[in-house]
């Protein structure tokens, strides 16, 4: 058995795993000015740079996966009132999520009256 081509240290194994975990995913690319515009918008909104970077990255990834124009999305965010940004952000991020794990949606099915009557509180 040939052992000279196998990773021998944990660092080598980690690098190999990291490489192949992302092998079939293409790295999204966006202009630095557009990325900075998103980060600046969300930093002004939230007051936290880390939060702004995470939100910007999530929106850019979602927009690229859905083939949406990032310039249009940024314009829509800037045109919204501050109270409406949460709803638009939730809707946008839900575009890539599975229907059973949507953000900001509460699904409480109605309970049968006979079942609720039998449950002691």
Whether 48 maps to a domain, the answer reads: yes
1-49 pLDDT, tens digit each: 455 555 566 666 666 666 666 566 666 678 889 999 999 999 999 999 9
Q: Say yes or no to pLDDT of 98 above 80.
A: no
**Count of domains for the chain:** 1
The two structure tokens encoding residue 62: 């979602």
Taking the C-alpha atoms of residue 90 and residue 84, their distance in angstroms, rounded to an integer, is 10
Task: Note the pLDDT of residue 49.
Answer: 94
Taking the C-alpha atoms of residue 3 and residue 92, their distance in angstroms, rounded to an integer, is 49
Could you tell me the pTM of the whole model? Answer: 0.62
80-89 pLDDT, tens digit each: 998 888 888 9
What mean pLDDT value characterizes the chain? 80
Domain that holds residue 92: 32-101
Whether 87 maps to a domain, the answer reads: yes
């Amino acid at each position: 058995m040939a052992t000279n081509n196998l990773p021998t240290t944990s660092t080598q194994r980690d690098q190999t795993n990291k490489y192949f975990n992302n092998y079939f995913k293409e790295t999204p690319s966006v202009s630095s000015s557009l990325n900075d515009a998103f980060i600046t918008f969300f930093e002004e909104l939230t007051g936290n740079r880390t939060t702004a970077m995470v939100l910007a990255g999530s929106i850019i990834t979602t927009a690229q996966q859905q083939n949406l124009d990032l310039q249009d999305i940024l314009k829509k965010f800037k045109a919204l009132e501050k109270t409406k940004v949460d709803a638009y952000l939730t809707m946008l991020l839900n575009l890539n999520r599975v229907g059973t794990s949507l953000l900001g949606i509460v699904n409480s099915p109605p309970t049968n009256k006979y079942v609720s009557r039998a449950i002691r509180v």
